[in-house]
Amino acid sequence: MNIGRSMHGPGLLLALLLAWPPLAVAETLAYQVTYRGVFSAFQDVAIGDVQLEVDATGVSLDGQPIVRAWLSASSAAYPLVEEFYPYRYEFTSYHQPDAARSLAFERRKQTSKLRHDLLLLDWAGDEIRRFGISQTPDAASGEEPPPELFTALRRAGLPYHQAQFVPHPGSLATPPRDTLDRLALLQQVRDLDLVAGASRELTVTDGKEFIAYRATVAMRELVPTAAGPIPAWKVRIEGFETNDPEERPRHAPVYVWLDEGPRRLPLRFVSHHPAGKFTVDLQPQAAQTAAVAGRPDLPILY
């Protein structure tokens, strides 16, 4: 099995980045990634584990609280994937949910090589700045990011990388409306009215360009789990070329099933790729607790 190229699909990456819990309390949730397609003889094969953590930092900027969310994805527990395409991903988002905007997004991706960078959304300076984080400080420029923003982010938990910053050339002007990173996208999606047809448009950036997203509530249905079916709302998330009247898609839609209770826990994600289908499921022990305890008391896993 060789799913290496498939693992780079933006739909799967978005599915991984969308899976995080509500912001009211610190939580950790566990998911498993499975693949079905040409590289698995069209059988379901587990290929990775995902862990999500989120907490309110107690730090504010411009009067708005900053929330930190962290996601890790790893193939470490799957020998077959380790043989062909071992991967370790870590993503950290610092964003302000009430203002629907991101402040920073740190990305660390280890496959055949390491990629480590930081995206800063400087709302005061009306620009988005990208930095590589060098593993050899002598090669870094030591350029300082915006001081007020960086001070708030350091207090919110951003590691001290200043001596290792390598600026990427150029910057993006901040768009008229607020902008999110992909890890912060779902919290806005989860504020949708959970009724069929409800929709919201959002702007996401990776630091190189802006992408227009639309989230639409499709239907209410039962999600099969190891603990039995759980009622949920299916939401379709689509990405388009920005300012494209023809709305050309950036990737296949990603589907997320949100529990219908007050916490709106993400139960499942599905992303289709030319090489197959990727599914991200809440781990069975979490789904079982949810089914037994009822949706107002969905589990916190530590």
Q: Using 50, 70 and 90 to split pLDDT, how confident is the model at 196?
A: very high
Q: Check residues 244 and 192 and name the one with the higher pLDDT.
A: 192
* Res 155: pLDDT: 93
Mean pLDDT for the stretch of residues 57-85: 93
Token pair for 58 = 């107690």
Averaging pLDDT over each range in 2-6, 143-147, 173-177, 296-300, which range is the top one?
173-177
Q: How far is CA 160 from CA 69, 134, 149, 151, 250, in A?
A: 17, 12, 13, 10, 34
Q: How far is CA 300 from CA 31, 45, 209, in A?
A: 13, 27, 36
User: Quick one: pLDDT band at residue 299, thresholds 50, 70, 90?
Assistant: very low
Closest alpha carbon to 235 in 243, 223, 247, 245: 223
Choose the weakest-confidence range: 155-164, 257-266, 290-299: 290-299
Backbone CA torsion sign across 92, 97, 102, 104: negative
Which of 33-47, 104-118, 127-141 has the lowest average pLDDT?
Answer: 127-141
The pLDDT of residue 5 is above 70: no
Mean pLDDT of 39-60: 92
At residue 261, the pLDDT reads: 81
Q: Which residues pair with 270 in a beta bridge?
A: 255, 279
Which has the closest alpha carbon to 21: 187, 166, 223?
Answer: 187
At 302, is the pLDDT very low, low, confident or very high (cuts 50, 70, 90)?
A: very low
Return the structure tokens found at 144. Answer: 């300082």
Q: What is the pLDDT of residue 165?
A: 78
Average of per-residue pLDDT across 202-220: 91
Over residues 162-182, the pLDDT tens digits come to: 667 787 877 788 777 789 998
Name the least confident of 17-31, 81-95, 267-281. Answer: 17-31
* Residue of 20 and 127 predicted with greater confidence: 127
**Does position 295 have pLDDT exceeding 70, yes or no?**
no
pLDDT of residue 26: 64
Beta strands in the chain (DSSP E): 27-37, 45-61, 64-74, 88-96, 101-110, 114-122, 127-133, 165-167, 172-173, 199-205, 210-223, 230-241, 254-259, 266-273, 276-282
Nearest to 51 by CA among 5, 3, 88, 95: 88
pTM: 0.83
